[in-house]
Amino acid sequence: MSLQKWERMFEQKAVKLHGHNWTIMFDDSIVPHKPAGEWFQYIRGAFAKFRCSACNRTWGSSRVLVVFEFHYQRGAKSGTVKARRFRQECKTCEETEMEEPQFDSENIGVMLEKLVEKIRIRCYKEKTGNRKRFRPLDWSEGPHESSHCEACKKGVCRETN
């Protein structure tokens, strides 16, 4: 899904953050469990679909890792969120590229809602009291193809830990 869709949805979820401006962007340089400087990190697994750019094969995975980093700049009364969506490759093509995950709007909404909750706790010191667990839509209990998962290859997938 395009960055514009993520931006619109994030803006809707973050509108209640004390009237401050928050932006979201994709950043493939984020390293899980190693936030930059004064940034906070939130890691989430979610369901996404993939399409091979070589053979057009499609598949779904409920174990797609998304890492968010966020930072609030008090003086500017603004914040930045960076997101890394880990990719997967086709298991039937010999030489294939890592494909970008395609999340449906509802799963993006759930991830962003939980992200905004983390921002409220970490950056604004709010006590949200929200302990509701979200289960991704289109949940699948199928096998995880570790040899085709970018997060597994980098040693950061929850399946390999």
Q: Tens of pLDDT along 63-75?
A: 899 999 999 988 8
Give the CA dihedral 4, 6, 7, 12, nearest 10 degrees: 130
Q: Which of 158, 154, 132, 133 is nearest to 144 (CA)?
A: 158
Higher pLDDT, 116 or 146: 116
CB 80 within 8 A of CB 22: yes
Higher pLDDT, 18 or 8: 8
pLDDT for the residue numbered 151: 92
DSSP three-state, residue 75? coil
Calculate what percentage of the chain has a pLDDT beyond 70: 87
Question: How far, rounded to the nearest angstrom, does the alpha carbon of residue 10 sit from its chain's CA centroid?
Answer: 12
Query: How large is the C-alpha radius of gyration of the chain?
Result: 16
Higher pLDDT, 5 or 2: 5
Q: pLDDT band at residue 137, thresholds of 50, 70 and 90? A: very low
pLDDT for the residue numbered 138: 46
pLDDT for the residue numbered 118: 94
CA distance 84 to 1: 13
pLDDT for the residue numbered 2: 80
The neighbouring-strand residues paired with 49 are 60, 102
Q: Is the predicted pLDDT of residue 142 greater than 80, yes or no?
A: no
Q: What is the mean pLDDT of the chain?
A: 86
Output b/e per residue, 84-102; b: 16+ Cβ within 10 A: bbbbbbbeeeeebeebbbe
Alpha helices, DSSP H only, in 24-104? none
This prediction's pTM: 0.86
DSSP three-state, residue 111? helix
- Write out pLDDT tens, residues 79-117: 999 999 999 999 999 888 999 999 999 999 999 999 999
